[in-house]
Structures are given as C-alpha cells and as structure tokens.
Structure 1
Amino acid sequence: MEYIRIQHIDNPLFAKMHRLMQEVFPPEEVLDYDLWKEPLEDPSIRVFVAVHEGEVVGATEYRYYPDMNVAMTDFTIIGREGLGVGRFLAKKREKDLLALAAENGKSLYGMFAEIYDPYRVEEHAFGGIKPMDPYVRREVLSHLGYKRTNFAYVHPSWQNDGEAVSGLDLGFMPMDENQDFLEADLIVTFLKRYYAVLPEKPQAWLDMVEALSSLEKVELLPL
C-alpha cells in the first residue's frame, strides 16, 4: 500500500478520493469538487490517499499549526475492509506530524478531530462501509487517545449556507495521555482559524465561541 500526497485537483487520484468521500460522508460534510483547488495547493493542508493496486482505498486530510503546535484531522476514510487501511493511515499521519513539529522545534501538543456521536445522531450510514460505522469510529478514536471536550459543539456547514451542524463532539488527543483539560483560548484560536474559510457563520457557532472565550480551560472527558 502506498501513502501518496495529493496537491492538485487534476491528479487522477483526487477524482477517486472525492467520489469515495461522497459515498461515505453526508452532503453537508463534503466540499464541492471545484472548491478543492485552493485547499489542495495550500502547503499547510496535507491530503494523502492510501493506494492499493491502483485504487484509492482510504484517505486522510490533516494540518499542522506551528504557532499553536497542534494538528487537526479533517477526516479519515477507510474505503475497504481487510487491508489494515485505518492503522496504515494513522501511523503514516502520526509520523508526518511528529516530523513537522520537530521541524518547528517542538514536541507535538496534540490533535483535534470532530467526532460523530451516534448516540445522539444515528442517520449517518457512511456508505455502508462497516469500518466507517460511527460507533466503530468512536471506539477506535478513543483507543488512539482522543478525548471529548466538555461543551456543546456545533460547526458551520461546509455548504456555506449559514446552518449549524450538530451531533458531533470536538475531540482532542493530547500527546500526554494524563492531560485532562485544554486551554479555552487555544480552542477559540483554533476554531476561528479553522473556519475562517467559511464566511457564513451560524449564530449558534458565534454564541459557542463567545461562551468559550469567557473560560480559562475546558475539561477533557472520555469519549
């Protein structure tokens, strides 16, 4: 299996990856094909696919913020069972991020991820791919070390229609597994930076960020 970075919309592997995304994720979570041009060419956004026998069987997008010394996992897709795609992507991503932090003269602080809560929202079938089942994904992320930030989380729809998307938790995987809180100002800075690309912010999101701004720290709980 190969771990290949995609940096241009005209890469034939991107069309396969985008098709896989549409099969797996709900529409409001998938950026339109043409809108991927700038993100793919942005050196800070890292999009990799797992390629097996010429086919895209998995993908992951993530980024590293040198000033905050944290990463964000945008998504991870396991497109085929029985190949160890999930572990392959996780290990390759971790190695890459640790190297990026080292180049920045630091030891990686941790990694954010938006995590579906199937106990609240059950309609996401994720294309019928069993490893993508939200119950399975949540347990896998827990095993990796992700924890749940203790506040009611919403995010702006990626369709940029001003709607708030709920049914997720903002997760964080501290590199120190004993860490049980996260600085609130770090969360606020991260969220504002991450969603700066979407001009249409729902009021629920603005209210959430304002409430976080009044806090010193946020508890990290088990998933």
Structure 2
Amino acid sequence: MDYKRITSIEDPLFKKMHDLMKDVFPPEEVLAFEDWAGPLQDPGIRVFVAVEDGEVVGCTEYRFYEEMQVAMTDFTIVGREGRGIGPFLAKKRQEDLFAVVKEAGKELIGMFAEIYNPYLVKDYEFGGLMVMNPFVRREVLAHLGYRKLDLDYVHPSWQQDGEAVHGLDLCFLTYRAGMDSVPAALVAQFLKTYYSALPEKPQEWYAMVEKLDSRESVSLLAI
C-alpha cells in the first residue's frame, strides 16, 4: 500500500478520492470537485491517499496552524474493511505531521477533529461501510486519545449555502500531559481561521463563537 500526496485536481487519483468522499459522506460535508483546485495547492493543506493496486482505498486530509500550534484532521476515510487501512493512514499521517511541526520549529499543542454523534445522526449510511459507522469512528478516536469539547457544536455546510450542520462534536487530542481543558480563545481563533474559507455561515455558528469569546476555557470530556 502506498501513501501519496494529492496537490492537483488534475491528478487522476483525486477524482477517485473525491468519488470515495461522495460515496461515504453526506453532501453537506463534501466540497465540490472544482472548488478543491485552490486548497490542494495550499502547502499548509496536506491531502494524502492510500493506494492499493492503482485504486484509492482510503484518504486523509489534515493541516498544521503554525501560529496557534494546533493541527486539524479534516477527514479520514477507510474505503475497504479488513485491510489495515485505518492504522496505515493514522501512522503515516502522524509521521508527516510531526515532520511538519519539527520543520517549523514549533510545539504541537494538540489536534482538532470533528466526529458525528451517532445518538444524533441515524439516517446516514456512510457508503454502507461499517468501519465508517459513527459508533466505530468514535471508539477509534477515543482509543487515539481524543476527547470532545464541552460545547454545543455546529458548523457551516461545505455546500457553501450558509446552512448549519448539526450532529457533530468537536474533539481535541492533547499532546501536553495533564491538559483537561482548552483555552476558549484558542478554540474560537481556530474556528474563525478554519471556516474563513466559507463566506456564508449560519447565525448559529456566529452565536457559538460569540459564546466562546466570553469563556475562559472549554473542558475536555470523554467521547
């Protein structure tokens, strides 16, 4: 299995990755094909695919915000079961992320990730892949050390229509021992930066960020 970076929508592997995304994720979570052209050329956005026999069997996207010293796992898709794709992607992603952080000469405080709450989302099939089932994915994140932030989370739709997307938790993996909360200002700064790519945002998102601006910290809870 090979781990290959995608930097252009012209790469034949990107079409296969985008098709996999559409098969697994609901429409509001998938950026349109042509809208990927700019992000893929951004050196800070790292998109990789797991390739086996010429086919994309998994993919992951992540980024490191040097100024904030935090990272974000945008998504991870395991497209085949029983192949060890999940561990392969996690290992390769961490190796690449640590190399990026080291090159920047910074400390990595932690890594954000969004995860569906299976108790709130029951109608999505996620491509019929049990490995992508929200219950399974939450257990994987929990085993990796992620905890959810204590806030009512909502994010703007990637369909760029300004609609609110519910049913997810924002989680955080700490790299500092004994860290049981995250500064609210850091969470707010991260969300403002991350979603600056979407000009249309729902009022619920603005209200959530405004509440964060008035808090000192956000507790980390078990998933």
Which stretches of structure 1, 4 residues or more, deviate above 3 A after TM superposition?
none
1: CA distance, partners of 2:153 / 2:187 = 12
User: 1:177 Cα deviation (Å)?
Assistant: 5.3
- Which stretches in structure 2 are left out of the alignment for 5+ residues? none
Q: Does 1:147 align with 2:138?
A: no
Given that 1:45 and 1:61 are in contact with CA atoms closer than 8 Å, whether structure 2 keeps it comes out as yes
Residue deviations 1:145-182 (CA, integer Å, cap 9, x gap): 11000010000011111111010000000013532100
2:194 alignment partner in structure 1: 194
**1:7-18 to 2 correspondences below 5 Å:** 7-18=7-18
- In the alignment, the residues of structure 2 paired with residue 169 and residue 215 of structure 1 have an alpha-carbon distance, to the nearest angstrom, of 18
Structure 1: segments with no counterpart, 5+ residues: none
Match of 2:93 in 1: 93
- The one-letter code matched in structure 1 to 2:6 is I
- Identity of matched residues, %: 61
SS of residue matched to 1:62: strand
**Letter in structure 2 aligned against 1:178:** G
Cα offsets for 1:163-216 (capped at 9, x unmatched): 110100000000135321001010011000000011111000000000000011
Letter of the 2:21 partner, please give it.
M
**Aligned residues between the structures:** 223
Contact 1:145 1:177 (8 Å CA) reproduced: no
Q: 1:212 to 1:42 in 2, by over 3 A?
A: same
Aligned pairs for 1:112-191 within 5 A? 112-176=112-176, 178-191=178-191
Decide whether aligned partners of structure 1 residues 110 and 92 sit closer, same or farther in structure 2, where only a CA change above 3 A counts.
same
3-state SS, counterpart of residue 114 of structure 2 = strand
Using the size of structure 2 for normalisation, the TM-score is 0.98
**CA distance in structure 1 between the partners assigned to 2:178 and 2:10 by the alignment:** 44
| Structure 1 residues 136 and 177: alpha-carbon distance in aligned structure 2, compared to 1, 3 A threshold | farther
The amino acid across from 1:106 in the alignment is K
Partner Cα distance (2:195, 2:45) in 1: 14
SS for the counterpart of 1:74 is strand
AA partner of residue 76 (structure 2): T
